Chains A and B, each alone.
Chain A
Amino acid sequence: MELHEFTAGDIRKLLRERKISSVELTRAYLERISALDDRLKAFITVTKDMALEMAAAADKAFGEGRESTVGGIPLALKDNLSVKGIPCTCGSSILQNYVAPYNATVVERLVSENSVIMGKTNMDEFAMGSSTENSAFFTTGNPWDLSRVPGGSSGGSAAAVAARMVPWALGSDTGGSVRQPAAFCGITGLKPTYGLISRYGLVAYASSLDQIGILSRNTEDCALLLKAIAGQDRRDSTSAGIPVPDYEAALRGKEGNFTIGIVEEFFQQSLDDGIRTLIEQAAHVFEGMGWSLKRVSFPHIRYSLASYYIIAPAEASSNLARYDGSRYGLREPAETTISMFKRSREKGFGAEVKRRIMMGTYTLSAGYYDAYYLKAQKVRTLIKRDFDEAFRECSFILAPVTPTAPFRKGENIDDPLKMYLSDIYTVSVNLAGLPGLVLPCGFSGGLPVALQLIGKPFDEVTLLRAGTAFQRATDFHLKNPPLGEAVPGGSIKESMK
């Protein structure tokens, strides 16, 4: 078996048994990145030197008997997470030359556990998009079909994990940006409860919706990485002061009898037939495990996309105001300060970002605030109530992730409304601040399809348990994308000491 085929959990075992060193492993993955990324374009920055240093530090720690959950295992970060001394572009021209001078809290936690940061991955500019086509630099390919998009906005991270360029990666999810690309790339994705992971150092798109999420090969890896990064942070007032369970240990616990909620409104009109069929099959898999299904109705869910596309741009218009060319990032010279601001922003931001800034500015303007922003917030409360109601009887909710399989590059780029529709099953989860887990559940026309389990607030344990049960019963998550010819990655036999 080749090195890159191992999951993070396998790698951890190999590292602990000293069957491999972190430096060897890191070299192998770096090699694979350099061989594959010309075609895939998942990375904006590959932090080769830093990765090797971190790997050496991890080996040293192992040598001294200091072990950790994620130590020595390569990891990729979406390019909106701050790593001290490393560019943090957010996929935007306006931050092309910006180097973060501090570490995000998650990065600090990963560094303290000797994780190995391999690089920063491509993304839709400022996390706005559903295809990674809004990156100012290039478009990432879907490992299952390079002519298709990997999803967005964490498309780079999803593609890197799916192509086995890293065992796992972090992304961010504001309206589905971890779950949708995980689905498109056929991997496991988790958007945790809002407040479970500190947002400090995650460049904000829409503060009340953003949450750092995990892209991995299976639910066990997901639990491992979550354990390393979750928990309260004094630097993020919205991070929750609740004890972090040992997710890894929880997976070994008894499964229990779950009731799965099926939201009627999720299975109407726009859902692709192939996807509908696969999700229904998945529901039967759960039933086969002795769990019961329960039909529930979400009367307000149809307003979720509209309210998301009011709240997110409103917050974004404010969060992105700091990029004006005066302190860092792109500066276009001009006669006056205001025209310098205008020119820098005109040149630095792409079309989608400008579109959302304008929408947000409009809906927050005096005279429109009540009609749009305030109303959207009220809808948000109602959507939350729909979920609360369902959770009285259901352990979690089973839903689609996307209405269609991965679309072709360029297919939706000139039709923003159609693009926005690809978030239809994911945004309500962010509006309600809930956790959502995405699991591969089959293939449609050779392309991966996934299901989504939506859990109660801070009940990641139940979600991951259910997900683990599903992955024990199925093998969709074990399929490799057809990347063609053998790509170097090293094998365990060669590198065994």
Chain B
Amino acid sequence: MSASTPTRGTAPVGLSKGEARTYASYARPAWQRWLLTRETAVILLLAVVFAWATSSVPNFDGPLTLYYLFLDLMPILLIALPMTLVIITGEIDLSVASTVVLTSAVTGLLTIDAGWGFGQAALVAIAVGALCGLFNGFLVGYVGLPSLAVTIGTLALYRGIAVGLLGTEAKTGFPEEWTDRVKERIGETSYPQVLVVFGVLAVVFVLLLHFSGFGRGVYEIGLNDEAARFSGVDVARTKLLLFVLAGAVSGLAGVYYTLRYDLARGDAANGLELQVIAAVLLGGVSIFGGRGALHGVVAGVLLIGVISSAMRLQGETENVTTIVIGLLLIASVVTPSFLSWVSGRLPAGVKGAFSRSRRT
């Protein structure tokens, strides 16, 4: 192999032949780097669960089941996108469900009470969501407060404002033109049109996280924010922007929520934040930050959706589904450390098989 054509596994210039061999032996082949990941494991699990669901529930892959699966999952799917980036920086946003309720309340008050057009009201709602995110992001990024504490506070604050504005009232009777539109299908297929909105957003977030300098900064912050600062990443601004994105997307989810159920009320979307976080972590994102990918997260959300939908159709109660999702979440975070614990106690020969599995 000539030195001028760099190939995978070739050592940097200036190494002896022995050193070069050692160097190459540490580089994992591409197929391993791409396929032996937690994301692949989640996608495989999703495939297995989907196969189990289709074989045990008649018509599980029929048009109606998938249609409702996507309609029900839409808020989690949407919010999981920015939440992934937030968690990769090592932060967390517990206030997203409260933002959904607040923006839903704003939508209701502006259209039903103030008589605004729905389009304008929706825009204002999304702006309110972004503002909620701006407040979180300012406190976390610029004031330097821990996001767990800040968003526990704003979790109560934003929902409190929503409940304060609405009281015990529920706003209903949104224009049918709009409530029908969110449920429309794409042409003759079984997929709802909102999936297109999700698709566009997903592409934007994939480009942002996986194919841009900004995204590399997000990972750097999660691995070591001090080091990221010294290598020129604007840590505060990045965090601010991510929280604003989380707020704005939650605002969009709030508008969707309002239309999907034709309802804006203070006690809606209870516990949604924890479902989103569970889905993101299930999708292979590390709670310590610095690790994860969006395809895994989408698979994680779908996994939760398929399991709950299949178990519901099999006549299981929602409680059993809750237990299964909880156990799955625990297993997904405990398995890697269990594997590394096992590999630390294996005889040397067997150990080689595990030694390259990175501990996350």
A, B co-complexed: no
Residues in chain B within 8 A of chain A (CB atoms): none
